[in-house]
């Protein structure tokens, strides 16, 4: 695998979305865009890509979506002004120097991201700890992987996932707990589907309060109640002990602490645990038997375990099952924590968490601090513990943080308890936002904006879930004045050093990413992850490599010898007590709300919203609830509801879905303030932390759901680039409690959909603004207004082609007009449609993003007697990336 292959300018790189880390071949097309195909030679995906990876090319060449110049605002209420890089860098450096001088180094904080490259992180870390002198450097991995890190360290002794992707094919039993791999790690899920098809004896168990697409291949589905997995895992171990399914020799030779845990487990009989976790006791017994007696058992787990105030306990209790049965360190076996972001692993290696120093070292350990200080040639590293993500924003809200530098993450969407987060962002004297795209909510709080290059303009390395380091390579120049993240950090660090410690200036002078990587790799020497022998040259010639790496080969699996990197060399069983999640349901807040991913969107959607086909699978925010809960709360499908708790409230429509447990509701995490209005989904979530990992409880909030009582409704649909339309929109939206704005793809073109709700009809002025603010210049209008009643019905036309419409106060024509804009038939009479005297067609959802196949066509095919293979053959759905195959199966079964 060389840097460039095939076409003379094609580069091998890595998909910038999930932690699977699929290899891609990227070819610049000469018009500012690229073509992306899977890299057949990359061991993560062997050429496969999911719907998101396949459409990466569509995210390029969109300068309107990007930040192109640094900006500065001189006061909190002043407008941002474009400035030169020179002036932006000088201002950042001056602000840092002043805060350090006047308030001490801990008045400065860095909030970074698992989507940075290893080189970016490394320099941020060196700047924060080595030059500023603060451990206040944390990342969004705190919201994501922190409990997995803690779980691994406390039980196995080091933060190292012991398994690898080949184990998906070699396992006899796969236990998927709190992971929706079909959506979040689709290419790994494809591998698992194929492995199961090739080996029908393979048993798959899925534990999730929602019967997700991942559960479509499960032999046993466990509808665990949110937050209660410890009871499930403890009971499984109890059964294994009772039925003598444990590996006594392994426990005796390679572990410690079993006796105390065993004592604790007595109370976790299947029946007692069933009361706590809501899984039938017979199913607990079956799960335990399959797990223990299979020749090799692999667990895959993600946010359903990590994002809880008992997330570390859940991780440890799951790892216990592997230690007790010896399902670790051998092919097809092990506790495999799948990473979310493309370089969450790299951050853990570099020290991109307040609680980690470079090379898996510990900032609380004086010897480790001295080692890193020696490597960096600085006198000492700060001993004062750093703030973790949520603590950082709590300190900021208290006025303790003067300069907050945010890079490659969108905390005004993704952190829990947005009321606090936004108060914190307002309180900080100087907020620096280093961001690539123009739509991030956090930009509204920025005093200084630093425009960053992004994929495919960046060069560096990432580590995927199976500890494999790959090169990311640039295929395009960055647009405007955007710069690579590590170069921005290096430039600021050199300026700051010149002011506060001139002897250190040279320590931040790097010719290229390769020399940053070399310095970083050296920090791993002698550590569990040792890849000090790795270099860009080796990666270029021999392709991606797993750590630890001895100069020739990387290790695919860890702990095959039963020796663990703990003080005694033995793995540890922990005496994990039962703790309930922090948020409790009550008569006031009876619903357990959980949040998570959609198949075709990525986080705050700065990239996926640019791809028309990706917006078609799920177009708009909705709350899903069990039909029985809807009945109990007297709610109708499609009705607008208010979801509320003591932290905040959001408005969105409700839909019925019996794949959820009764009592559990779900909202996708993607709907932040930019889509939903207000503070978005995380207005509701809790900042209760796991005491060990400091990871917040993003997966459970107790809420109430009630009718919205916003009878006045408007809906607006308009052809155009959402990014371009957004500024005009924001002022309008602020006037309405319900104000959803999302991109939708109609007839292959981008459109903006706006939905508004209010308790009563808005003022005449506001109504007039609605009709004119977004009106396309020179478009013809068909208008049937009744302003006295707060009613507008207008359709904009170019010749006979509809460009958009606004319906306010009377939205009955919405579905038919939308179908028309989507290429459907024109209504027979526009007037009778707008006046509600006739209704029109309704359009169907797109199930297969790759081939654009709609649900109605699929259902018609099924009526004709087609099965999944027949659908694939005749309609071509499911033949691209395969992500929709579980859904096709579900539709066939229904």
Ligand X SMILES: Nc1nc2c(c(=O)[nH]1)N[C@H]1C(S)=C(S)[C@@H](COP(=O)(O)OP(=O)(O)OC[C@H]3O[C@@H](n4cnc5c(=O)[nH]c(N)nc54)[C@H](O)[C@@H]3O)O[C@H]1N2
The contact set with Mo ion (CB under 5 A) reads 144, 340
Contact 818, 751 (CB under 8 A): no
Q: State which residue, 59 or 442, has the beta carbon closest to ligand SF4.
A: 59
Residue 15 partner contact from ligand X, Mo ion, ligand SF4, none using kind-dependent CB cut-offs of 5 to 8 Å:
ligand SF4
Residue 445 partner contact from Mo ion, ligand X, ligand SF4, none using kind-dependent CB cut-offs of 5 to 8 Å:
none
Buried b (16+ CB within 10 A) or exposed e, 747-762: eeebbbbbbbbbeebb
18 contributes a contact to ligand X by CB under 6 A: yes
Q: Of the candidates 313, 435, 459, 583, which one interacts with ligand X according to CB under 6 A?
A: 435
Residue 304 partner contact from ligand X, Mo ion, ligand SF4, none using kind-dependent CB cut-offs of 5 to 8 Å:
ligand X
189 contributes a contact to ligand X by CB under 6 A: no
Three-state SS at 24: strand
Q: Of the candidates 118, 135, 418, 434, which one interacts with ligand X according to CB under 6 A?
A: 434
Backbone angles phi, psi at 750, to 5 degrees: -75, 135
What residue number has its CB nearest to Mo ion?
340
Exposed/middle/buried for 262, CB within 10 Å: 0-12, 13-18, 19+?
Answer: middle
Q: State which residue, 185 or 368, has the beta carbon closest to ligand SF4.
A: 185
Smallest CA-to-CA distance from 755 within 664, 651, 672 is with 651
Residue 69: how many other CB atoms lie within 10 Å = 16
212 contributes a contact to ligand X by CB under 6 A: yes
Strands 203-207 and 220-222: parallel
Q: State which residue, 12 or 604, has the beta carbon closest to ligand X.
A: 604
List the alpha helices (DSSP H) in 327-481: 344-350, 366-376, 389-397, 411-414, 418-427
Residue 878 partner contact from ligand SF4, ligand X, Mo ion, none using kind-dependent CB cut-offs of 5 to 8 Å:
none
Cα–Cα distances (Å) from 9 to 30, 455, 474, 476, in that order, read 10, 16, 11, 10
Strands 801-808 and 712-719: antiparallel
The residues in 834-873 that bind ligand X, with binding defined as CB under 6 A, are none
22 contributes a contact to ligand SF4 by CB under 6 A: yes
Cβ 67 to ligand SF4, closest distance in Å? 23
341 contributes a contact to ligand X by CB under 6 A: yes
Residue 391 partner contact from ligand SF4, ligand X, Mo ion, none using kind-dependent CB cut-offs of 5 to 8 Å:
none
Tokens of 671: 């709907």
Q: Of the candidates 28, 53, 133, 227, which one interacts with ligand X according to CB under 6 A?
A: 227
Cβ 464 to Mo ion, closest distance in Å? 14
Cβ 54 to ligand SF4, closest distance in Å? 7
Tokens of 493: 């660090």
Strands 640-644 and 649-656: antiparallel
Residue 183 partner contact from Mo ion, ligand SF4, ligand X, none using kind-dependent CB cut-offs of 5 to 8 Å:
ligand X
Beta-strand ranges (E) seen in 799-856 are: 801-808, 846-848, 853-854
703 contributes a contact to ligand X by CB under 6 A: no
HSE-up of 492 (CA within 13 Å, CB side)? 27
Binding pattern for the stretch 457-496 against ligand X, x by CB under 6 A and - elsewhere: -x--------------------------x-----------
Tokens of 677: 């209005």
Window contacting ligand SF4 (CB under 6 A); options: 48-56, 344-352, 353-361, 618-626: 48-56
Per-residue three-class SS string for 454-509: CCCCCCEEEECCCCEEEEECCCCCCCCCCECHHHHHHHHHHHHHHHHCHHHHHHHC
Beta-strand ranges (E) seen in 295-396 are: 297-301, 334-337
Backbone angles phi, psi at 613, to 5 degrees: -65, -30
Cβ 557 to ligand SF4, closest distance in Å? 22
Q: What is the DSSP string of 186-246?
A: HHHHHHHHHHHHH-TT-EEEEE-SB--GGGGG-SEEE-PPTT-HHHHHHHHHHHHHHTT-S
Cβ 814 to ligand X, closest distance in Å? 28
Q: State which residue, 147 or 545, has the beta carbon closest to Mo ion.
A: 147
Binding pattern for the stretch 611-640 against ligand X, x by CB under 6 A and - elsewhere: ------------------------------
53 contributes a contact to ligand SF4 by CB under 6 A: yes
List 434's β-bridge partners, or say none. 407, 450
What residue number has its CB nearest to ligand SF4?
53
Cβ 114 to ligand X, closest distance in Å? 6
> CA-CA distance, 350 to 460, in Å (whole number)?
14
Q: State which residue, 187 or 708, has the beta carbon closest to ligand X.
A: 187
> CA-CA distance, 207 to 221, in Å (whole number)?
6
Backbone angles phi, psi at 849, to 5 degrees: -70, -35
Q: State which residue, 406 or 625, has the beta carbon closest to Mo ion.
A: 406
What residue number has its CB nearest to ligand X?
340
Cα–Cα distances (Å) from 863 to 149, 216, 892, in that order, read 49, 21, 9
Beta-strand ranges (E) seen in 85-167 are: 108-112, 137-139
Q: Of the candidates 11, 174, 303, 665, which one interacts with ligand X according to CB under 6 A?
A: 303
- The radius of gyration computed from the CA coordinates of the chain, to the nearest angstrom, equals 27
Exposed/middle/buried for 180, CB within 10 Å: 0-12, 13-18, 19+?
Answer: buried
Three-state SS at 137: strand
The residues in 148-187 that bind ligand SF4, with binding defined as CB under 6 A, are 185-187
* Number of residues engaging ligand X in binding (CB under 6 A): 59
Smallest CA-to-CA distance from 192 within 178, 180, 209, 207 is with 180
Q: State which residue, 212 or 818, has the beta carbon closest to ligand SF4.
A: 212
The C-alpha torsion from 672 through 674 and 677 to 679, rounded to 10°, is: 40
Q: State which residue, 437 or 564, has the beta carbon closest to ligand X.
A: 437
By residue count, the chain amounts to: 894
Q: State which residue, 171 or 667, has the beta carbon closest to ligand X.
A: 667
Binding pattern for the stretch 558-597 against ligand X, x by CB under 6 A and - elsewhere: ------------------------------------xxxx
Cβ 350 to Mo ion, closest distance in Å? 17
Q: Of the candidates 109, 251, 407, 702, which one interacts with ligand X according to CB under 6 A?
A: 407
Contact 729, 774 (CB under 8 A): yes
Q: State which residue, 301 or 547, has the beta carbon closest to ligand X.
A: 301
Q: State which residue, 226 or 648, has the beta carbon closest to ligand X.
A: 226
Cβ 206 to ligand X, closest distance in Å? 8
Cβ 504 to ligand X, closest distance in Å? 24
Which residue is associated with the tokens 């500024």? 727
Cα 870 from chain centroid?
34
Q: State which residue, 510 or 712, has the beta carbon closest to ligand X.
A: 510
Residue 545 partner contact from Mo ion, ligand SF4, ligand X, none using kind-dependent CB cut-offs of 5 to 8 Å:
none
The residues in 187-206 that bind ligand SF4, with binding defined as CB under 6 A, are 187
> CA-CA distance, 557 to 171, in Å (whole number)?
13
Cβ 602 to ligand SF4, closest distance in Å? 8
Q: Of the candidates 24, 173, 177, 756, which one interacts with ligand X according to CB under 6 A?
A: 177
Q: Of the candidates 207, 239, 395, 888, which one interacts with ligand X according to CB under 6 A?
A: 207
Three-state SS at 74: coil
Contact residues for ligand SF4, defined by CB under 6 A: 15, 17-18, 20-22, 45, 49-50, 52-53, 185-187
Contact residues for ligand X, defined by CB under 6 A: 18, 113-115, 140, 143-144, 177-180, 183-184, 207-210, 212, 224, 226-227, 229, 302-304, 307, 340-341, 407-410, 413-414, 434-437, 440, 452, 454, 458, 485, 594-597, 599, 601-604, 606, 669, 681-682, 685, 698-699
């Amino acid at each position: 695998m060389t840097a460039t292959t095939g076409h003379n300018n094609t580069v091998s790189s890595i998909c910038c979305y999930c932690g699977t880390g699929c290899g891609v071949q990227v070819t610049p097309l000469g018009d500012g865009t690229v073509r992306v195909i899977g890299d057949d030679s990359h061991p993560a995906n062997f050429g496969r890509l999911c719907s998101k990876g396949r459409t990466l090319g569509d995210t390029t060449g969109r300068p309107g979506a990007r930040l192109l110049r640094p900006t500065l605002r001189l006061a909190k209420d002043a407008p941002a002004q474009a400035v030169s890089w020179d002036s932006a860098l000088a201002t950042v450096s001056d602000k840092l120097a002043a805060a350090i001088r006047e308030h001490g180094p801990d008045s400065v904080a860095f909030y970074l991201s698992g989507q940075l490259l290893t080189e970016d992180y490394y320099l941020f870390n060196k700047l924060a700890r080595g030059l500023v002198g603060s451990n206040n450097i944390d990342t969004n991995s705190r919201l994501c992987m922190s409990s997995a890190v803690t779980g691994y360290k406390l039980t196995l002794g080091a933060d190292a996932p012991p398994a690898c992707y080949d184990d998906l094919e070699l396992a006899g039993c796969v236990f998927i707990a709190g992971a929706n791999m079909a959506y979040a790690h689709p290419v790994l899920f494809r591998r698992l589907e194929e492995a199961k098809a090739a080996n029908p004896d393979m048993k798959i168990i899925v534990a999730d309060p929602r019967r997700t697409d991942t559960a479509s291949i499960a032999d046993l589905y466990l509808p665990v109640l949110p937050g209660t997995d410890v009871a499930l895992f403890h009971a499984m171990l109890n059964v294994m002990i009772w039925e003598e399914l444990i590996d006594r020799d392994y426990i005796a030779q390679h572990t410690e602490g079993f006796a105390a845990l065993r004592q604790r487990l007595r109370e976790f009989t299947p029946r007692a645990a069933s009361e706590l976790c809501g899984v039938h006791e017979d199913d607990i017994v079956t799960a335990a038997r399959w797990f223990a007696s299979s020749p090799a058992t692999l667990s895959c787990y993600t946010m359903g375990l990590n994002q809880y105030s008992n997330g570390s306990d859940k991780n440890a209790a799951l790892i216990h099952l592997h230690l007790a049965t010896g399902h670790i360190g051998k092919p097809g076996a092990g506790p495999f924590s799948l990473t979310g972001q493309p370089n969450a692993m790299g951050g853990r290696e570099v020290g991109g968490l307040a609680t980690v120093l470079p090379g898996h070292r510990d900032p609380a350990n004086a010897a480790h601090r001295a080692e890193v200080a020696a490597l960096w040639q600085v006198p000492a590293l700060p001993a004062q513990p750093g703030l973790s993500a949520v603590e950082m924003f709590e300190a900021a809200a208290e006025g303790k943080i003067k300069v907050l530098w945010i890079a490659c993450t969108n905390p005004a969407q993704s952190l829990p308890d947005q009321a606090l987060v936004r108060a914190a962002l307002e309180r900080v004297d100087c907020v620096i936002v280093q961001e690539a795209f123009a739509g991030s909510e956090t930009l509204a709080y920025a005093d200084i904006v630093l425009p960053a290059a992004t994929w495919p303009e960046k060069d560096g390395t990432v580590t995927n879930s199976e500890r494999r380091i790959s090169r990311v390579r640039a295929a395009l120049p960055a647009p405007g004045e955007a710069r690579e993240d590590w170069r921005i950090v290096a430039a600021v660090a050199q300026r700051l050093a010149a002011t506060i410690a001139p002897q250190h200036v040279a320590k931040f002078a790097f010719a290229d990413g390769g020399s940053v990587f070399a310095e970083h790799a050296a920090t791993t020497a002698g550590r569990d992850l040792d890849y000090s022998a790795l270099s860009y040259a080796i990666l270029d010639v021999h392709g991606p490599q797993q750590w630890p790496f001895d100069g020739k080969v990387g290790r695919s699996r860890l702990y095959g010898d039963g020796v663990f990197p703990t003080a005694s060399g033995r793995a540890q069983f922990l005496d994990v007590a039962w703790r309930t999640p922090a948020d409790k349901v009550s008569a006031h807040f009876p619903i357990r709300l959980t949040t998570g991913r959609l198949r075709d969107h990525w986080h705050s959607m700065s990239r996926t919203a640019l791809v028309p086909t990706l917006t078609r699978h799920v177009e708009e925010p909705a709350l899903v609830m069990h039909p029985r809960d809807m009945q109990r709360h007297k709610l109708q499908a499609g009705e607008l509801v208010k979801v509320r708790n003591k932290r905040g409230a959001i408005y969105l429509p409700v839909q019925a879905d019996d794949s959820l447990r009764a009592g559990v509701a779900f909202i996708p995490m993607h709907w932040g303030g930019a889509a939903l209005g207000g503070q978005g989904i995380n207005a509701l979530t809790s900042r209760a932390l796991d005491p060990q990992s400091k990871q917040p409880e993003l997966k459970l909030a107790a809420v109430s759901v009630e009718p919205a009582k916003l009878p006045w409704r408007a809906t607006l649909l308009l052809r155009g680039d959402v990014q371009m339309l957004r500024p005009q929109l924001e002022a309008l939206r602020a006037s309405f409690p319900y104000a959803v704005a999302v991109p939708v793809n109609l007839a292959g073109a981008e459109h903006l959909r706006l939905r508004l709700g209010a308790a009563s009809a808005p003022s005449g002025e506001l109504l007039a603004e609605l009709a004119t603010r977004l009106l396309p210049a020179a478009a013809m209008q068909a208008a049937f207004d009744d302003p006295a009643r707060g009613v507008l019905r207008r359709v904009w036309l170019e010749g006979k082609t509809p460009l958009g419409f606004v319906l306010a106060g009377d939205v009955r024509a919405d579905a038919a007009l939308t179908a028309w804009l989507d290429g459907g038939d024109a209504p027979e009479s526009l007037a009778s449609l707008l006046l509600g005297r006739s209704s029109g067609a309704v359009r169907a959802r797109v199930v297969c993003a790759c081939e654009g196949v709609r649900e109605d066509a699929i259902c018609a095919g099924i009526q004709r007697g087609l099965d999944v293979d027949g659908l694939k053959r005749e309609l071509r759905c499911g033949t691209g990336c395969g992500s929709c195959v579980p859904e096709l199966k579900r539709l066939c079964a229904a």
